[in-house]
């Protein structure tokens, strides 16, 4: 198949899923064309079967807001025509599904077919999409999509309830490549790598996100401060965004900044995650929680909040621990008791990896996308 993929190319779960999907599809012999305003961040290097098409957005002085969605629609139609794409797959409904709808209409007027699949990821439904200025057009574009997938059952139900979408929605959960996200098998190698972050005997906690308010990064620092009262530890914070300075300020105010590593945006998180003992994801809301899945694949159990689609991924007390949003005391005491009970931690580490491998591995999900594409092509 020849597949066009559009996503946000910046750091964020939907862009990660779209890029990893494109890489896996190309590895399976499909031709993949990314269409976006810049190259997706995980698409570094030249992969066979992958092409990247930049969307130029001209900024005429009359435009207070350059119309990216129109430029994207034009480029989608061009790329589809020149490369004879079979379909488009857009990740994150706003504005990608609207642009895809326009591209489909442009080509239809010339007798060419371009079906498109929209994958709903999270805030396109739970936050931004609900804004009155976007709600009607987002609903329309989802409804008009030739296929709609969502990354969790929770998100599917939310879309039906809040948007009144009647088109069938197929749940295809987030996935991870378990050969890239994996534990470091050699304990001596792992111990040596951990020494760059922590002294022997210290625990390592990790958090990865785009530091948006929904991720509650300040809670990560609060939990860590409580853990430190009982256990020597280091905290590794990967990512950057609006709440980074609030987290840095709190770290200094609590005088624990010398134990917190603000690493900023990192490309090879699969090399960092396996060094940690536990991962923290105290989000206000997660439609799935891809960062937690990546951690689980590396045998790092997540300490997370019981929100959105997270319980579809984490079995509380088995492959991780779940708490109410904002309950930093409970999260800290859960972490402390787990770190003090190494046998229980080891069982949980195995369960986390097993969940990733047996339920959310790319080898299971990518074929689901391929057969979904085939079903869309057969009925359009
Ligand atoms: O909302 C974000 O923080 C980023 C967002 C995205 O679209 O980039 O993440 C969403 O998509 C991820 C991949 O499908 C999910 O794993 C995240 O749970 C989801 N985020 C939220 O629902 C807040």
* Ligand 1 nearest-atom number relative to CA 310: 18
Mean pLDDT, to the nearest integer, of 147-159?
Answer: 97
* Ligand 1 nearest-atom number relative to CA 212: 3
Taking alpha carbons only, the member of 200, 277, 201 closest to residue 236 is 277
CATH architecture of 2-175+361-379: 3-Layer(aba) Sandwich (3.40)
H or E stretch at 263: strand 260-264
Give CA–CA dist 119/189, Å, rounded.
39
User: pLDDT tens digits for 261-310?
Assistant: 999 999 899 999 999 999 999 999 999 999 999 999 999 999 999 999 99
Spacing of C-alpha 269 from chain mean position: 13
Does the beta carbon of 173 lie inside 6 Å of ligand 1? no
For the chain, which residues make up each domain, given as ranges?
A: 2-175+361-379, 187-359
Say if CB 305 and CB 282 are below 8 A apart: yes
Does the beta carbon of 121 lie inside 6 Å of ligand 1? yes
- pLDDT band at 10, cuts 50/70/90? confident
Instruction: Compute the CA torsion angle 154, 171, 362, 50 (nearest 10 deg).
Output: -120
Residue found by looking up tokens 């435009």 in the block: 63
Give CA–CA dist 206/238, Å, rounded.
8
Does the beta carbon of 287 lie inside 6 Å of ligand 1? yes
Mean pLDDT, to the nearest integer, of 69-82?
Answer: 97
Interior/surface letters 132-170, b for 16+ CB within 10 angstroms, e for the rest: eebeebbbebbbbbbbbbbbbebbbebbeeebebeeebb
Phi, psi of 290 (to 5 degrees): -60, -40
187-359 has the same fold as 2-175+361-379: yes
Instruction: Compute the CA torsion angle 83, 100, 35, 89 (nearest 10 deg).
Output: -80
Mean pLDDT of all residues belonging to the chain = 95
Phi, psi of 342 (to 5 degrees): -60, -30
Taking alpha carbons only, the member of 183, 171, 124 closest to residue 312 is 171
Does the beta carbon of 112 lie inside 6 Å of ligand 1? no
Three-state SS at 20: helix
Single pTM value for the model? 0.95
- 187-359 fold: Rossmann fold (3.40.50)
Does the beta carbon of 163 lie inside 6 Å of ligand 1? no
Give CA–CA dist 127/123, Å, rounded.
5
pLDDT of res. 45: 64
* Ligand 1 nearest-atom number relative to CA 91: 7
């Amino acid at each position: 198949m020849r597949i066009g993929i559009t996503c946000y190319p910046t750091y964020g779960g939907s862009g990660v899923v779209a890029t990893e999907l494109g890489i896996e599809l190309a590895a399976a012999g499909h031709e993949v064309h990314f269409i976006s305003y810049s190259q997706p961040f995980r698409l570094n290097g030249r992969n066979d079967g992958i092409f990247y098409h930049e969307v130029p957005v001209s900024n005429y002085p009359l435009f207070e807001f350059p119309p990216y969605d129109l430029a994207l629609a034009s480029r989608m139609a061009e790329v589809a025509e020149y490369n004879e794409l079979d379909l488009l797959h857009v990740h994150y409904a706003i504005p990608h599904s609207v642009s895809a709808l326009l591209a489909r209409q442009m080509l239809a007027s010339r007798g060419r077919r371009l079906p498109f699949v929209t994958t709903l990821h999270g805030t396109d439904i739970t936050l931004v999409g609900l804004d009155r200025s976007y709600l009607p057009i987002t609903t329309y574009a989802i409804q008009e999509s030739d296929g709609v997938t969502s990354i969790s059952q929770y998100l599917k139900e939310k879309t039906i309830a809040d948007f009144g979408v009647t088109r069938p929605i197929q749940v295809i959960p987030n996935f991870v490549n378990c050969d890239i996200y994996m534990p470091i098998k050699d304990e001596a190698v792992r111990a040596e790598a951990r020494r760059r972050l922590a002294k022997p005997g210290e625990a390592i906690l990790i958090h990865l996100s785009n530091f948006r308010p929904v991720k509650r990064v300040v809670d990560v620092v609060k939990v860590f401060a409580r853990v430190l009262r009982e256990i020597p530890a280091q905290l590794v914070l990967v990512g950057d965004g609006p709440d980074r300075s609030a987290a840095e300020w709190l770290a200094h105010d609590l005088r624990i900044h010398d134990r917190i590593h603000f690493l900023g945006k990192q490309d090879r998180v699969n090399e960092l995650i396996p060094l940690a003992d536990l991962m923290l994801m105290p989000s206000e809301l997660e439609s799935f929680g891809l960062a937690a899945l990546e951690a689980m694949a590396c045998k790092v159990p997540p300490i997370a909040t019981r929100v959105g689609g997270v319980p579809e991924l984490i079995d509380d007390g088995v492959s991780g621990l779940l708490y109410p949003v904002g309950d930093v005391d409970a999260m800290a005491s859960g972490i402390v008791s787990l770190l003090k009970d190494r046998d229980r931690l080891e069982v949980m580490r195995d369960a986390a990896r097993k969940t990733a491998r047996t339920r959310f591995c790319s080898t299971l999900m990518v074929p689901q996308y391929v057969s979904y594409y085939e079903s869309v092509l057969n009925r359009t």
